[in-house]
Structure 1
Amino acid sequence: MKKLISEQLVTYLESRGIKHIFGLCGHTNIAVLAELEKSNIKFINVRHEQIASHAADGYARVTKKAAVVLSHLGPGLTNAATGVANAALDSIPMVVIAGDVPSYYYGKHPHQEVNLHADGAQYEIYRPFVKRAWRVDQAELFPEILQKAFQLAESGRPGPVLVSVPMDIFSTKIEEENFRLLQHHTQVVEKPALDEETAARIVEKLAKAQRPVLYAGGGIILADAAEELRQFVEHMNIPVAHSLMGKGVLPDDHELTLGMTGFWGTSFINEQTKHADYLFGAGTRFSEADSSSWYNDVTFDFPKTKLIHIDIDASEIGRNYPVEIGAVADLKKAFTALNRVAKRLYPNRIQRNEQLKKEIIHYRQTLRERISENVNSADFPMKPERILADVRRVLPRDAYITTDVGWNKNGVGQQFPIYTPGSILTPGGFATMGFGSSAALGAKLADSEKVVVSLIGDGGFGQNPSVLATAKEENIPVVWVVMNNSAFGTIAGLEMAHYDTTFGTRFQSDGKSYSPDFAAIAQGYGIKGIKIDSAEQFQVALKEAIAANEPIVIDVAMKNEPVPTDGKWNINDIYSPDDDKSHVSIP
């Protein structure tokens, strides 16, 4: 029996367990929307496609399955592109289904088509950052392409894919048998494990090392391997440093947790990784910020330090540093094998690093003392350290935090304890403004029982304030804390340090500092908004907002002070090659 592809598409998505789809309407995808109305799948309607792709990103980080975005052609697809690229650089699985021009109008330049260089080629726009982009040229091929899209998005190194569908194909009828065949195919492709021989080599190297450090990246979270990692490092007694994306793989109050490395890391942590004799990198790209721009005397010192590296993506092995042992494997399976071998070769827990554990305790105490004045400051606008400390005091250990860029990302990475693996959602590779406010929607929809707070700057929140419309319509109880310094603060501090100006980075009107009233904006969307007037008010307001279980915006004025930077970033040497400069405070 023949049925519309739009109908069979929705039935297929239901069979995959899809509960939510994020998107925005357009004349090319309304056939799908009409079918979704009959479905138990919830369509999350947004006012800008970037919100859809960021929300889907947050959703996928929590569920660890491919999220679905439904987009219109042309401006819909390009609006969503930033969020899809963000997902790509952070290895987040996503399937973007986009309407396209009618297949029989290729070459005629129909409404909203991008075709200055080729006809019927809108899918090419996504080619640089998705794992694959398909254009459906035959209706009968659509089911096969859809199955391949989900499989590719979730296999290997996860990431987004695009399926561009001419609108006439959505409205074409094909035999149900084309989709039924997919029922005989697995929805999960098994990932490679670590063989026993390689696992034994790694365990023996680490057991005999004098100063081993395990360096964890976001791949641990993506593979849901945090528990297996914890068992391994406790048995082997190895300290754990991490990248920004790896924050939370081990609770920040665990005795073996060192902390985040790199430019926004601290000297203590960078020294531990730099002086390690063996560094075991797991699920990390050794990206620039985490590696202090790959200077060999700051965060890492290869090849003096010997590197063991496991990742699901073979292209990352040896990309930035030479490796002694490199292996391609799923991290959960890899640590399962490593634990099995470690317990066989060394039945008793390895005894070492007792002095280092004391040093870690001392370091944490020293860091608390270093920032205590600002943490306890009653100044208003508030000190950023106090904002973070007050948020941490109020939140449950397993609450989700989403961030953007600036203090709300770098400060969280450095100073904000995360206790539950996967509970910090931050834009790593693309460092996208606008991510945090939208990703919070997806996180809350994916795990409705958990508290979700978005820590976001005023610059980032201003990117897509219409996120509040979606929160209101769908009653998504997220709390947005807008850390408001009336500027793109991190860049302002950088420009001031090197050029003695903040031109183009501060928000002003008639020469005076200017900021929208975000609490009033929230009220305009029908959401409660709270404007903080004193440091003492903030923690109380946040606690009440969380208890209210409704979408709420808290606008808190913040002093524009830089995050301490103990590492190095190459841009500082580019701007001021003869001076040791970095970010500075902006009055």
Structure 2
Amino acid sequence: MNNIVSHQLVRYLERRGIKHIFGLCGHTNIAVLSAIEKSSIQFINVRHEQIASHAADGYARVTGKASVVLSHLGPGMTNAATGVANAALDCIPMVVIAGDIPSHYYGKHPHQEVNLHSDGAQYEIYKPFVKRAWRVERPELFPEIIEKAFQLAESGQPGPVLVDVPMDIFSKEVDPHLFDRQLGNTKSLRKPSLDQQTAEEIIDAILAAERPILYVGGGILLAKAATELQKFVDHLQLPVAHSLMGKGALPDDHPFILGMTGFWGTRYINDSCRNADLILGLGSRFKEADCSSWYPEYTFDIPGTARLIQIDIEPSEIGRNYPVEIGAVADLKQALGILTKVARAKVPEGVRRPGLQQEIADVQAGFRQKNVAMETSDAFPMMPERILAETRAVLPRNAIITTDVGWNKNGVGQQFPVFVPGSILTPGGYATMGFGGPAAIGAKIAAPDRIVVALIGDGGFGQNPALLATARHENLAVIWLIMNNNAFGTIAGLEKAHYQTTFGTVFEKDGESTSPDYAAIARAYGVEGITVESAGDFKPSLERAIALNKPVVIDVRMINNPVPTTGYWNILDIYSPGEKISHVSTD
């Protein structure tokens, strides 16, 4: 019995250091579940597979290692697909192990098989968004496949992979030596750095530039290169702008941090990038929202005013959206190390930019001052600015924040200071509603000694409330802070601005709210539920939730004000061409 594939798989995972598996049962994976029961691995049981994949995503972001999802075939795989795709677009390493129909039933239309176009091909559902999808055809091939799966998920530009296993393969015997021999394979690949000549060319270009800027993406955090980034910035005193996913790569109280660019960027940040004469892009795809839909008059004017140097671990990202003068494929931790070494050799005393430092400080102070009225308003429903300001005031610097979409993503990116690299987990590329709640579960399991708060909207929390069952079962002290505007607020604002209606976006009928009582839902799951009744009640409620040290849902009603912006998004042209309509203020 111990020599069957399912038991040897679990044994392999134990020796690889896997401590948690996220998933949900099904008749195709119970052989694996029975093996996990007798192992040191903790199975995090969920009530919906999307919760499993989002939680595994959050777990991987905190640990920096591939997480593991165990799924059933058919609806199990498709339920999990949204979370796996979200991980893919944010480059998060994940290994999905899915049971499938018995191999001897291919083409017979057995229970839950999807075979409209080909037989035994359910695993192909994942092909558009995973780095690779394997279907295991024979038991003796499984050991090499699972080893390759982890290596591929964690190497280069990280991402999820799928290992699809017909359920009869799980129960077949296999020589344990085939798994044992995989232990001799390295579990961490050596990563490429910059050569000396390229590093010198880059530093020379920076030193010759009048208005250089570093543009930082999530690749810095994936490479665990935040320390190296700060050393480089400190030596040359370079201003740093970042994408949404790059937030936190440099602490938000660093004197040379500008902030987030693009649609939800401020005018000063966008203008600083647009007027730069040299941009060093580090681990960024230069995506649409971060670049104001690539309109040169808003954020980046490349090559109009600026030359671009781009470094990334993935070759296909270099030059994807802007022409590049120097493109280098390298691990950013290694690259920043040699760039700093070369910079110290060329300018031992470093570069000092006191005028720029003061300018950034003045602008930041001015932006904070403009928000004071909102942050101190006693209005109820609350101003979102006050919710964010008081949350930041209560939390320690190293608290982990997960976000969803809307104010709790765009507003947080713009206005919520992050001080510790990797302490904010945001759905970037896929922008998945429903990510923040389950991701907080994974984050807390990965970092049990840190405070974890999910800043989410009522629309986002409503996607996966069953996550509370998992939180109660595992006694996870996560706080779900629901910024409740009784709507899919961002979309409501867009529709109102362009079509003078909010049809299908607001949770009302005949003038009455149809939203549930989220605190009562929490209590029904056996979780503490708090309803905030006034603006003055919010901060004490959050402090109490932290002190309880158990799962808590806080429901706070919020005014549906849009996030202010000076950037651009070309959907505004598409909705109302030529009319220059925006649903946000431009102060």
TM range (shorter): over 0.9
Aligned twin of 2:314: 313
- CA drift of 1:432 comes to 0.3
Is it true that 1:271 corresponds to 2:271 in the alignment?
yes
**Pair 1:102-2:102 in alignment:** yes
- Post-superposition Cα deviations, 1:314-344, rounded to whole Å, max 9, x if no partner, equal 0010010001110001111111111111112
**2:442 match:** 442
Q: Distance in 2 between matches of 1:536 and 1:465?
A: 27
Supply the distance in 2 between the matched residues of 1:400 and 1:580 (Cα, whole angstroms). Answer: 38
- Distance, in Å, in 2 between the alignment partners of 1:2 and 1:356 is 66
Please report the RMSD computed on the Cα atoms of aligned residues, expressed in angstroms: 1.0
Find the aligned partners of 2:514 and 2:293 in 1 and give their Cα distance.
Answer: 35
Residue 241 of structure 1: how far off its partner (Å): 0.4
- 3-state SS of the aligned residue for 2:555? strand
Report the equivalent of 1:147: 147
Q: Is the 8 A contact 1:2 1:174 kept in 2?
A: no
Distance 2:167 2:71 in 1: 12
Shift of 1:380: 0.4
1:202 paired residue number:
202
SS, match of residue 18 in structure 2: coil
Provide the secondary structure at the position in 2 that maps to 1:165. strand
Alignment of 1:137-536 (within 5 A): 137-303=137-303, 304-352=305-353, 354-536=354-536
Quick one: which amino acid aligns to residue 495 of structure 2? E
User: Contact 1:2–1:176 (CA<8 Å) still a contact in 2?
Assistant: no
Q: Is the CA contact 2:2–2:8 (under 8 Å) kept in the aligned structure 1?
A: no
Report the Cα offset of residue 357 of structure 1. 1.2
Q: Which whole-Å deviations, capped at 9, do the CAs of 1:189-233 have from their partners, x for residues lacking one?
A: 112111111111111111121100000000000000000000001
Q: Could you tell me which residue of structure 2 aligns to residue 538 of structure 1?
A: 538
CA contact (8 A) 1:32 1:170 kept: yes
Q: Secondary structure at the match of 2:3?
A: strand
Length-normalised TM-score, structure 2: 0.99
- Partner Cα distance (1:341, 1:129) in 2: 38
What is the identity, as a one-letter code, of the residue corresponding to 1:18? I
The 4+ residue runs of structure 1 with deviation greater than 6 A are none
Letter in 1 for 2:368: R
- Cα shift at 1:237: 1.2
Which SS does the other structure have where 1:174 is aligned? coil
Please say if residues 263 and 566 of structure 1, whose CA atoms lie closer than 8 Å, have aligned partners that are also in contact: yes
Letter in 2 for 1:320: N
Q: CA deviation at 1:351?
A: 2.1
Give the secondary-structure state (helix, strand or coil) at the position aligned to 2:456. Answer: strand
Aligned residues: 584
Rounded to whole Å, the distance in 2 between the matches of 1:474 and 1:267 is 45
Shift of 1:580: 1.8
Question: Using the alignment, how far apart are the partners of 2:20 and 2:177 within structure 1?
Answer: 26
Distance (Å, rounded) in 1 between the aligned partners of 2:208 and 2:457: 46
Q: CA deviation at 1:358?
A: 1.1
Given that 1:457 and 1:484 are in contact with CA atoms closer than 8 Å, whether structure 2 keeps it comes out as yes
Quick one: distance in 2 between partners of 1:196 and 1:563? 44
Residue identity matched to 2:161 = V
Deviation at residue 584 of structure 1 after TM alignment: 5.2
Query: Normalised by the size of structure 1, how large is the TM-score?
Result: 0.99
Paired letter, 2:316: S
Letter in 1 for 2:237: N
Which residue type is aligned with residue 309 of structure 1?
Answer: Q
Give 1:344's aligned amino acid.
A
Tell me, what secondary structure is at the counterpart of 1:151? helix
1:493 Cα deviation (Å)? 0.4
- Which amino acid is 1:357 matched to? Q
**Aligned residue type for 2:217:** G
| AA in 2 matched with 1:310 | I
Using the TM superposition, give the Cα deviation of residue 515 of structure 1 relative to its aligned residue in structure 2, in angstroms. 1.5
Deviations 1:545-576 (A, max 9, x none): 01211000000000011000210000001111
Give the conservation status (yes or no) of the 8 Å contact 1:311–1:327. yes
1:359 is displaced (CA, Å) by 1.3
Which range moved further: 317-326 or 189-198? 189-198
1:510 CA displacement: 3.2
Separation of aligned partners in 1, 2:215 and 2:520: 44
The whole-number CA distance in structure 1 between the counterparts of 2:231 and 2:206 is 15
Alpha carbons 2:565, 2:584 under 8 Å: kept: no
Contact 1:2 1:175 in 2 (8 A): no
CA distance in 1, matches of 2:584, 2:364: 24
CA contact (8 A) 1:496 1:584 kept: no
SS at 1:492's partner residue? Answer: helix
SS at match of 1:34: helix
Find the counterpart in structure 2 of residue 51 from structure 1.
51
SS class of match (1:380): coil
Q: Distance in 2 between matches of 1:151 and 1:265?
A: 37
Moved more, 335-344 or 57-66: 335-344
Aligned equivalents of 1:524, 1:502: Cα separation in 2: 31
Instruction: Map 1:573-584; keep pairs closer than 5 Å.
Output: 573-583=573-583
Q: Tell me, in whole angstroms, the C-alpha distance in 1 between the residues paired with 2:256 and 2:432.
A: 31
Residue 266 of structure 1 aligns with an amino acid whose one-letter code is: T
Task: Render the CA deviation track for 1:122-169: whole Å, top value 9, x for unaligned.
Answer: 110000000000000111000000000000000000000000000000
Q: Quote the Cα distance in structure 2 between the aligned partners of 1:280 and 1:315.
A: 17
CA distance in 2, matches of 1:230, 1:208: 21
Q: Partner of 1:349: helix, strand, or coil? A: coil
Task: Name the CA distance, whole Å, in 2 between partners of 1:332 and 1:507.
Answer: 46
Q: Which amino acid aligns with 1:414?
A: Q
Separation in structure 2 between the aligned mates of residue 80 and residue 39 of structure 1, nearest angstrom: 24
State how far apart, in whole Å, the 1-side matches of 2:527 and 2:134 are. 40
8 Å Cα contact 2:50/2:79 also seen in 1: yes
Distance in 1, Cα, partners of 2:42 & 2:575:
49
Distance of 2:558 and 2:160 partners within structure 1: 36
1:69 aligned partner = 69
CA distance in structure 2 between the partners assigned to 1:521 and 1:485 by the alignment? 17
**Identity of counterpart residues, as a percentage?**
67
Deviation at 1:513, TM superposition (A): 2.7
Does the CA contact (< 8 Å) of 2:457 and 2:482 recur in 1? yes
Q: Which amino acid letter does the alignment assign opposite residue 369 of structure 1?
A: Q
- Tell whether 2:562 aligns with 1:562: yes
State the shift of 1:273 in Å: 0.5
Residue deviations 1:422-468 (CA, integer Å, cap 9, x gap): 10000000000110000000001001111000000000000000000
What residue ranges of structure 1 are gaps of 5+ in the alignment?
Answer: none
Spell out, residue by residue over 1:390-428, the C-alpha distance to the aligned partner (whole angstroms, 9 max, x if none): 100000001000000000000000000001111000000
Aligned residue for 1:439, secondary structure, equals: helix
SS at match of 1:574: helix
C-alpha contact 2:564 2:584 (8 A) present in aligned 1: no
Shift of 1:579: 1.7
Q: Quote how far apart the aligned CAs of 1:2 are.
A: 7.4
Task: Name the SS for the 1:98 alignment partner.
Answer: strand
Instruction: Report the AA paired with residue 378 of structure 1.
Output: D
Q: Distance in 1 between matches of 2:201 and 2:172?
A: 57
Structure 1 CA distance for aligned equivalents of residues 2 and 485 of structure 2 = 59
The whole-number CA distance in structure 1 between the counterparts of 2:145 and 2:557 is: 49
